[in-house]
Amino acid sequence: MENIAAQLKRGISRQFSTGSIRRSLSRQFSRQSSLDPRRNNLRFSFGRQSSLDPIRRCPSEDDVELSVPENLDSTMQLLFLACRGDVSGVEDLLNQGIDVNSIDLDGRTALHIAACEGHVDVARLLLTRKANIDARDRWGSTAAADAKYYGNTDVYNILKARGAKVPKTRKTPMTVANPREVPEYELNPLELQVRKSDGITKGTYQVAKWNGTKVSVKILDKESYSDPERINAFNNELTLLEKVRHPNVVQFVGAVTQNIPMMIVVEYHPKGDLGSYLQKKGRLSPSKALRFAVDIARGMNYLHECKPDPIFHCDLKPKNILLDNGGQLKITGFGLIRLSIISPDKAKLAQPWADHGHSSLYVAPEIYKDEIFDRSVDVYSFGLILYEMIEGVQPFHPKPIEEALRMMCLEGKRPPMRTKSKSYPSVLKELIEECWNPDPYGRPTFSEIIIRLDKIVANCTKQGWWKDTFKLPWK
């Protein structure tokens, strides 16, 4: 399994789609099963399924005469013998040191299976060996819930006498009626290990582990399930993440929508965000600033060129730009601002920027003044970010954010370029000034920005220094 996790991680970095990852894993399990007999029948089908499994089935005639298939691993042998009601067989395995709470791929224990089948003696044996009566399978079902659902009163009463309770069924706002409608990206919440003691702010991503691989998880807080606006925001972010695939855009891993709490899972970046990086490093070398700028521009150009509708970020800032282990930048945080679409290329905030409850130094004047805007608002933000990478300080530092915003958005002022001009090409300064042009129509598109940045980078010497003077083809 460690090998699978490692390969999955590499698959994510190569920008596989969620469907491709799942198909790759499925093929990998098949290959390993053929090579390693111990891995055969990892998902052996028992007579009765979990009481909360969307596709429940009753035993068929083929299930009456059960015999132990060959090459089952120890966990599956235990579950199979519990399904058959073989008390002595179960006892022998437990005496050999098999964990009584071993689970299959669906999180099912031997006690779950015995409860489904109504095997009282097996259930009693498992309980004497300290079986966990509150263990939940991937759908949240307990042994007591299974026993009650299938009418196995004797087993249910035994479990109830020991304090077992039937969990309440909690439906999410995105629960589907037909199991075939469960999204392909749906993850098993039992496979996610989230540290709940980190004191993470609501609505932000936190570090977790999914099948041994570190990921970032956003958990929908309890108050959101009764708020249609928050549910719509969650669904909008999920929809956008699911459809985007680009090396400079954060990679979507999957989501939990059929269980509470609902979660969105994306790739994890241990290097943190560009904002923290700039606070630590200060002014970047021209070569690194240009390399970072190209990454940002490529990611944003992809979002702006998405079909059929462009994706406006509206909150592009260093905190929403992540660094991966290879030093590549990835855009995140898009889809969080609710928009009223005026036309394919025009939009307006669904509520004024001041009502969003947070301030961003990089927001464009059109958004700040609650006007209709186009995708050039992200170009404005890009210009300020590029300025910060070159200057090593935020615009108008150390003035408070609100004062700097008023100066830029209402008074039309721009921060001064203090870095010596010989440290970077003059055309780079010109590009920054065009990006933060007060007139949206005077700002370049990201496709134009990429071309211009590539030409600047091409003039970098082998030592990484810029030529003091040079002519560029487009000037």
Based on the fold, state whether residues 156 and 242 are members of the same structural domain.
no
Residues in the chain, overall count: 475
pLDDT surpassing 50 at residue 25 = no
Gap between the Cα atoms of 312 and 333, Å rounded: 11
Encoding tokens for residue 225? 């399930």
pLDDT of residue 32 exceeding 50, the answer is no
CB-based contact 214:227 (threshold 8 Å):
no
286 confidence band (pLDDT: 50, 70, 90): confident
Q: Give the active site residues.
A: 315
**pLDDT value at residue 422:** 67
Domain boundary pick from 210, 234, 267: 267
Q: Give the per-residue pLDDT at 118.
A: 94
Given a cut of 90, is residue 18 above it in pLDDT? Answer: no
Dihedral over alpha carbons 408, 411, 415, 421 (to 10 degrees)? 120
Range 270-296 average pLDDT: 93
- Highest-confidence segment of 148-152, 177-181, 409-413: 409-413
- 430 lies in some domain: yes
pLDDT band, residue 308 (cuts 50/70/90)? confident
On the question of pLDDT at 31 being above 80, the answer is no
Same domain, yes or no, for 187 and 58?
no
Residues 312 and 431 in one domain: yes
pLDDT of res. 460: 63
Task: Report the distance separating Cα 336 and Cα 239, nearest Å.
Answer: 11
Verify that 293 and 427 share a domain, yes or no.
yes
Residue 418 lies in a domain: yes
CA dihedral 424, 294, 322, 401 (to 10 degrees): 50
Quote the number of domains for the chain: 3
Tell me the CB-side half-sphere exposure of residue 375, using CA atoms within 13 A.
20
What is the per-residue pLDDT for 55?
Answer: 60
State the DSSP H helix or E strand holding residue 34, giving kind and residue range, or none if neither.
helix 18-35
Contacts 24+ apart (CB under 8 A), 80-86: 80/44, 80/46, 81/110, 82/110, 82/111, 82/113, 82/114, 82/117, 82/119, 82/122, 82/126, 83/46, 83/47, 83/113, 83/114, 83/116, 83/117, 85/114, 85/117, 85/119, 85/121, 85/122, 86/122
Q: What is the mean pLDDT of the chain?
A: 82
Query: 46 with 149, same domain?
Result: yes
- Choose the final residue of a domain: 267, 282, 303: 267
Domain membership flag for residue 19: no
pLDDT above 60 (res 20): no
Distance, CA of 39 to CA of 371 (rounded, Å): 60
Q: Which domain holds residue 152?
A: 36-161
Comparison of pLDDT for 222 and 251, the residue scoring more: 251
Q: Which residues pair with 254 in a beta bridge?
A: 265
- How high is the pLDDT of residue 198? 47
pLDDT score at 182: 82
**Domain with 138 in it: what CATH number?**
1.25.40.20
Q: What is the structure's pLDDT at 56?
A: 58
Are the C-beta atoms of 333 and 273 separated by less than 8 Å?
no
Same domain, 327 and 447: yes
Summarize pLDDT for 353-398 with one digit per residue, the tens: 877 656 789 999 999 999 999 999 999 999 999 999 999 999 999 9
Residues 380 and 424 in one domain: yes
Query: In the numeric block, which tokens belong to residue 36?
Result: 């390693």
pLDDT one-digit tens code per residue, 92-116: 999 999 999 999 888 899 999 999 9
What pLDDT, in 10s, does the model give residues 247-263?
A: 999 999 999 998 888 99
Nearest to 378, CA basis, from 390, 391, 360, 394: 360
CATH number at residue 427: 1.10.510.10
Question: What would the mean pLDDT of 425-443 be, rounded to a whole number?
Answer: 93
φ, ψ (nearest 5 deg) of residue 231: -65, -40
What is the mean predicted confidence (pLDDT) over 400-404? 93
Same domain, 282 and 423: yes
3-state secondary structure 279-312: HHHCCCCHHHHHHHHHHHHHHHHHHHCCCCCCCC
Helix (H), strand (E) at residue 343: strand 339-343
Do 196 and 297 share a domain, yes or no?
Answer: no
Which pLDDT belongs to residue 471?
40
What's CA 193's distance to the chain center, in Å?
A: 14
Q: How many whole angstroms separate alpha carbon 100 and alpha carbon 90?
A: 9
Kindly report the CATH number assigned to the domain that includes residue 212. Answer: 3.30.200.20
Q: Tell whether the model's pLDDT for residue 37 goes beyond 70.
A: no
What is the distance between the alpha carbons of residues 59 and 65, in angstroms, rounded to a whole number?
A: 11
Q: What is the pLDDT of residue 129?
A: 95
| Co-location of 313 and 433 in the same domain | yes
Q: Do 259 and 308 fall into the same domain?
A: no
Banded pLDDT at 152 (limits 50, 70, 90): very high
Output the pLDDT for position 224: 84
471 within domain boundaries = no
40, 27 contact by CB (below 8 A):
no
**How far is C-alpha 26 from the geometric centre of its chain's CA atoms?**
21
Q: Is 88 a domain residue?
A: yes
Q: In what order do the strands lie in the sheet with 205-210?
A: 192-194, 205-210, 213-219, 263-267, 252-256
d(C-alpha 301, C-alpha 310), whole Å: 10
What is the model's pLDDT at position 35? 33
- What DSSP state is assigned to residue 157? H
Q: How far is CA 452 from the centre of its chain?
A: 33
Indicate if 72 and 103 belong to the same structural domain. Answer: yes
Residues paired with residue 252 on neighbouring β-strands, in sequence order: 266
Domain contains 66: yes
Q: How many of the other CB atoms lie within 10 Å of CB of 12? A: 19
pLDDT of 58 above 60? no
Q: What percent of the chain is predicted at pLDDT more than 70?
A: 80
Asked if the peptide bond before residue 438 counts as cis, ω within 30 degrees of 0, the response is no
Distance CA 97, CA 198 (A): 36
Among 249, 267, 285, the domain boundary falls at 267
Residue 138 lies in a domain: yes
> By mean pLDDT, which of 21-35, 136-150, 426-440, 461-475 is the weakest?
21-35
**Candidate ranges 147-151, 192-196, 381-385, 399-403; pick with highest mean pLDDT:** 381-385
**Which sign does the torsion angle of CA 16, 18, 20, 21 carry?**
positive
| pLDDT of 206 | 87
Using one digit for the tens of pLDDT, what is the confidence trace for 67-84? 556 667 888 899 999 999
Within-domain flag for 25: no
Q: Is the pLDDT of residue 120 over 50?
A: yes
Q: CA-CA distance, 335 to 145, in Å (whole number)?
A: 39
**21 token code pair:** 């990852």
